[in-house]
Amino acid sequence: MIPYGEVPLVSCRGLQFKWPGSDATLTMDDFSVAPGERMFLCGPSGSGKSTLLGLLAGVMTATRGEVTVLGVPLSTLSASQRDHFRAEYLGYIFQQFNLLPFLSPVENVLLGCAWSPVRAHRAGLTRQAQRAEALRLLDALGLVAQLVERSRTGSLSVGQQQRVAVARALIGGPQLLIADEPTSALDTDSRDAFLRLLLAECTRHGTGVIFVSHDMNLARHFDRAAALGDYPSSQMVA
């Protein structure tokens, strides 16, 4: 769709964010991510990490500056256009509690393309095909089909839930995956295994990754690492 190397996946220019009702301002460095690139962002809490992710996902809007995704400046879109756009390009993984407990694991995965006709189409032409793709993804992430089919979402372990979350983020092949400390609830062994599976699937889909964590040990898995909050320019200005 977008030729590799020509248009950056994400680029931020002169980003500034002012919280409504307060004087605190967050200024962020310019940065860009190439299609398929894996970027590690190290950000301690309070570094404006959540705000940056909100801006990248288009759920928040910058006070100044511009976020451009796939060549589209987000500020040119209306709120509902941004919502549609987000559904198309972005897969998002939360720190934990990623799943809706009242949906089955497979339904949770399919939720990833519920608001995106493009991703739904890419995942499969029929509901059965989409379901099969969801099961394939889960299988690739190391979840046995039997387990997924049989168990309730609530009875999955944290590691299993995070894998279902990855499957949801990746179904229909979005261009960008944002992971907000998805490994913080996992122990070291399962953390590395989880990360390998995650990155392997992203490579397979050609999906670019912005991975946020405070654990610098993970940086070695990525093409590039950057730190939020260490920069003099990305501090909170009261």
Q: Which helix (H) or strand (E) holds 210?
A: strand 208-213
CB of 115 to other proteins, least distance (A): 3
Under rule CB under 8 A, residue 115 binds other proteins: yes
Neighbours of 167 (CB within 10 A): 28
72 binds other proteins (CB under 8 A): no
Task: Please name the residue that has the structure tokens 């993804």.
Answer: 137
Number of C-beta neighbours around residue 215 at 10 A: 13
- List the one residue from 71, 97, 142, 200 that touches other proteins (CB under 8 A): 97
CA distance 132 to 167: 12
Comparing CB distances to other proteins, the nearer of 32 and 50 is 50
Q: Which of 9, 15, 26, 60 binds other proteins (CB under 8 A)?
A: 60
For residue 31, the minimal CB distance to other proteins (Å) is 19
Q: How far apart are CA 97 and CA 219, in angstroms?
A: 24
Q: Which of 77, 94, 122, 190 binds other proteins (CB under 8 A)?
A: 94
- Pick the stretch among 6-14, 104-112, 156-164, 198-206 that binds other proteins (CB under 8 A): 104-112
Residue nearer to other proteins on the CB measure, 10 or 110: 110
Residue count, binding to other proteins (CB under 8 A): 35
Task: For residue 142, give both structure tokens.
Answer: 């190391």
185 binds other proteins (CB under 8 A): no
130, 120 in Cβ contact below 8 A? yes
Contact with other proteins (CB under 8 A) among 80, 126, 128, 233: 80
Separation between Cα atoms, residue 166 and residue 173, nearest integer Å: 11
- The neighbouring-strand residues paired with 218 are none
Interaction between residue 98 and other proteins (CB under 8 A): yes
Q: Which is nearer to other proteins, 66 or 107 (CB)?
A: 107
Q: Element (H or E) spanning 238, and its range?
A: none
Asked if residue 87 binds other proteins (CB under 8 A), the reply is yes
User: Is there binding between residue 84 and other proteins (CB under 8 A)?
Assistant: yes
Residues near 74 by beta carbon (within 8 Å), at least 6 away in sequence: 58, 61, 66, 67, 68, 82, 85
Q: At what angle do helices 127-140 and 158-170 cross, to 10 degrees?
A: 130
Contact residues for other proteins, defined by CB under 8 A: 20, 50-51, 53-54, 57, 59-60, 79-80, 83-84, 86-88, 90, 92, 94-95, 97-103, 107, 110-112, 114-116, 168, 180
